[in-house]
Amino acid sequence: MVQKGLAEETPVHVVAGEGYGPTVMVVGGMHGDEPAGYNSAARIARWNIKSGRLMVIPEACKPAVRKGNRLSDRSGDGNLQDLNREFPAGKTPWSPLARGIWNVVADKDIDFLLDLHSSSGLYKWGNGGGVGQGIFATNAGEADQVRRRLQSYLNDGFIDNDTYKFTGATAGEDGSKRMLKHKVGADLNTPAILFETYRGLSDERQETLTTSAVYNVCRRKGMFDK
Ligand SMILES: [Zn+2]
């Protein structure tokens, strides 16, 4: 549990397989108006795996999810805060909630992190268009390879209409974005992916894409094998 007993309290689900294997962490609900991410994460938290460990925080920012808003006034001072801009690389996270989440991430020696989001625009539209159907990797480890593989896997197997094909990028990890993904890459040298569906697609379709992406990562890591 993160922020136990407070309005921000949110559970951390741990799914453990019998066999030895990697630890994959999945985060949803950083933004409260992105149900594809938090509904997918809730489904993933109910998976059974054979090996390794799956750690899932379905609703990272409960106050924002409760309101259905991207941002929330967590400090109670009238200012809206974006949880995914509170993770500066090399420094302490900015808020108690961000520190609580970071403690889980940093304590558990994770091998891979997926942060699940959705966007009102498509990444391929370019600057200011949004980041939907975008997969964004850290520079660390295998993240970029996994990003490319996920792109092909989803585009070939799930998407007929070219408009909705996934594209993506690998971003630097200088901490300038203050995102959880950046901090995981920069501070822990652990591969991480930020996954964005397009909110113009149905919720069901977005959840299929999101859960399939996470499933693919876990399957390739042998988590469904003994
Ligand atoms: Zn988001």
113-136 confidence digits (pLDDT tens): 999 999 999 998 877 789 999 999
Instruction: Give me 32's structure tokens.
Output: 């409260």
Q: What is the pLDDT of residue 222?
A: 96
Residues in the 5 Å CB sphere of ion ligand 1:
31, 34, 117
By three-state DSSP, how is residue 146 classified?
Answer: helix
What span, in angstroms and rounded, lies between the C-alpha atoms of 105 and 88?
14
Instruction: State pLDDT tens for residues 16-61.
Output: 999 999 999 999 999 999 999 999 999 999 999 999 999 999 999 9
Please tell me the distance between residue 148's alpha carbon and the centre of ligand 1 in angstroms: 21
What span, in angstroms and rounded, lies between the C-alpha atoms of 140 and 86?
20
Please tell me the distance between residue 35's alpha carbon and the centre of ligand 1 in angstroms: 10
- Region at 205 (left for phi over 0; alpha for psi -120 to 50; beta for the rest): alpha
Residue type, 29: G
Q: How many CB atoms lie within 10 A of CB 143?
A: 25
- Residue boundaries of the structural domains of the chain: 13-220
- Supply the DSSP symbol for 72: B
Q: What is the pLDDT of residue 159?
A: 97
Question: Who contacts 120 (Cβ-Cβ below 8 Å, separation ≥6)?
Answer: 130, 132, 199, 200
Please tell me the distance between residue 19's alpha carbon and the centre of ligand 1 in angstroms: 33
Instruction: State pLDDT tens for residues 96-110.
Output: 999 999 999 999 899
Q: Which of 8, 45, 46 is nearest to 27 (CA)?
A: 45
Please tell me the distance between residue 95's alpha carbon and the centre of ligand 1 in angstroms: 18
| CATH of segment(s) 13-220 | 3.40.630.10
Q: What is the pLDDT of residue 174?
A: 67
Q: What is the pLDDT of residue 191?
A: 96
Instruction: State pLDDT tens for residues 160-214.
Output: 999 999 998 887 776 678 999 999 999 999 999 999 999 999 999 999 999 999 9
Q: Can you say how many angstroms the Cα of residue 30 is from the centroid of all Cα atoms in its chain?
A: 8
Q: Looking up tokens 């569906």, which residue turns up?
A: 197
Question: Who contacts 211 (Cβ-Cβ below 8 Å, separation ≥6)?
Answer: 40, 43, 44
Please tell me the distance between residue 181's alpha carbon and the centre of ligand 1 in angstroms: 12
Please tell me the distance between residue 54's alpha carbon and the centre of ligand 1 in angstroms: 21
